[in-house]
Amino acid sequence: MVKNQEDMNKPFIAVCNSYVDIVPGHVHLRELADVAKQAIRDAGGIPFEFNTIGVDDGIAMGHIGMRYSLPSRELIADAAETMINAHWFDGVFYIPNCDKITPGMMLAAVRTNVPAIFCSGGPMKAGLSAQGKALTLSSVFEGVGAFKEGQMTKEQFLDLESSACPTCGSCAGMFTANSMNCLMEMLGIALPGNGTALAVSDERRELVRKSAFKLMDLIKKDVRPRDLITPEAIDDAFALDMAMGGSTNTVLHMLAVASEAAIDYDLNRINQVAKKVPYLAKIAPSSAFSMQDVHEAGGISAIIKVLTDMGGVIHPDRLTVSGKTLRENVANAAIKNPKSDSPA
């Protein structure tokens, strides 16, 4: 809020938050919004928070709820656009996390084209069964089938159910939410670590603070979402998705973002990108490795660094919200655990 006359001359910053307490990926976002608002004030801005709706695809599955999932993306985009344009904010700090929320806010960002930065809520920790087996949400889906077929006892299934999602944050595998949050690093609209720093970590909170200060720099330099989300950036986003074995839903969402940004982008262009990109990382649900493992192995920056060093695969000299190029962002990145970042 505005506290004095001096505040009236400072940039007014919208904090677009998707806090919903029924969604594990969003239950902590109110806390992160508080961190963001304090950091914005420390950086010289005046924060004003508003919320959007958020649908959890995992909860919506198996009943009519899934009819509402994709349409919710458009509702989020429309709601954010309405708040941002109606109140003529100078900048926007977006805090998304789950499947349709992240692309919904991305649509709003390119539609309004107000200086903006994204910092997601981050992935949850991987679960651990009583037998010491690594778990993610997909482990529960598989467990339902195993239990029905008599391949798992009720006690084992209940252990699975209570252990697979141990903390707040987006589901621990490379599903749509984490895929989109990782792609934002490649697009250049979020800082390195956005896709993999754990929701419950101090690192996530520090990332929120850093993002707030970077947003103020973007406003001063008048760097806007459409300056960053270019045809080349979308090429690179698809390259990352292929390299890390991400969700195929990124095609649905990135084409929508391209359309909103008035970029003519077709499926054939995705095929051309695919011809150049190796499969570098096999992450849950395709393996037992979680987003936590990816982060500890060097994060998305390590994968981007490999693609950069290959030459001719991505466009690493694009500007990002860090104020540096993509190449500069990942210059010191390295794969620390080849077993995590390997399709073998």
**pLDDT tens, 119-154?**
999 999 999 999 888 898 889 889 999 999 999 999
Q: How far is CA 89 from the centre of its chain?
A: 23
Distances, alpha carbon 60 to alpha carbons 99, 164, 172, 292, in Å: 12, 18, 18, 25
The average pLDDT across 260-289 equals 95
- What are the distances in angstroms from CA 281 to CA 161, 181, 227, 294, 340? 27, 16, 29, 9, 7
Residue 230 has pLDDT above 60, yes or no: yes
3-state SS, 131-163, equals CCCEECHHHHHHHHHHHHCCCCCHHHHHHHHHH
Domains in the chain, CATH or no CATH each: 5-126+166-329 (3.40.50.2300), 127-165 (no CATH)
Report the percentage of the chain scoring pLDDT > 90: 90
DSSP 240-259: HHHHTT--THHHHHHHHHHH
Closest by CA position to 226, among listed 200, 270, 182, 189: 189
pLDDT tens track for 172-189 = 999 999 999 999 999 999
* pLDDT at residue number 47: 98
**Residue 51: band (very low, low, confident or very high) from pLDDT cuts 50, 70, 90:** very high
What tokens does 23 get? 């969604």
Q: Which two tokens stand for residue 202?
A: 């101090």
What is the mean pLDDT of the segment spanning 111-122? 99
